[in-house]
Amino acid sequence: MRRNTDPRRYSRVVVDGDKQAPARAMLRAVGFEDADFGKPQIGVASTWGNVTPCNAHIGELAREACSGIDTAGGKSVLFNTITVSDGISMGTPGMRYSLVSRELIADSVETVVGAAGFSRELADVSVAGGDVPPGRGDTDLRLAEVRILKAHRAQHGARRRLFVTVHHHP
């Protein structure tokens, strides 16, 4: 069985042809240029926010991921998803939301990737804080063709470490 290796397999449905002129117009409003429509669109899901110190720096890492994608010939598209801090909500009723948030993160990333026509063959980039990027593993399973890059810095006292793992689903 032969796999479809067209890197624009999903994005072309969203942006190619006369019928998709309104979609292209909306994307131009967020910075797309003519050449960008011929590139595979790669989503960058970020958990940036000031909800927790684990995620305060994530915006910077997400922008670096976008720069790498754009330099390599893709068109990065940055979007956010939710974040919940176990450490802050620990011992409170707010902790009830922690496990549920993982499913919400997976749902939100899957929804944006599917609706926007982002590439699933090349990469789907997730940038999350804390020791484990919750919810992203669930999305890996749902979008089985995806290569996932997960980058985050765990903060332990004054130390910051950058973790990068790459998963490839053939």
Give the phi and the psi of residue 104 in degrees, each rounded to 5.
-65, -40
pLDDT score at 154? 45
Q: What number of residues does the chain have?
A: 170
Q: How far is 32 from 47, CA to CA, in rounded Å?
A: 23
Structure tokens at 66: 């976008």
Could you tell me the pLDDT band of residue 29, with boundaries at 50, 70 and 90? very high
* Amino acid found at 148: I
Percent of all residues in the chain with a pLDDT value above 90, rounded to a whole number: 24
pLDDT on residue 138: 52
Residues 44-86 have pLDDT tens digits of 888 888 988 888 888 888 888 888 889 989 999 999 988 888 8
User: Which secondary-structure segment (H or E) carries 76?
Assistant: strand 75-80
pLDDT of residue 56: 84
Residue that the structure tokens 């449905």 belong to: 13
**Cα→Cα distances 119→89, 98, 100, Å:** 35, 29, 27
Query: Tell me, what's the pLDDT at 165?
Result: 39
**What is the residue extent of each domain of the chain?**
11-167
Angle at CA 80, nearest 5°, toward 15 and 108?
A: 75
Q: CATH top-level class for 11-167?
A: alpha beta
Reported as a single tens digit per residue, the pLDDT across 6-19 is: 889 889 999 999 99
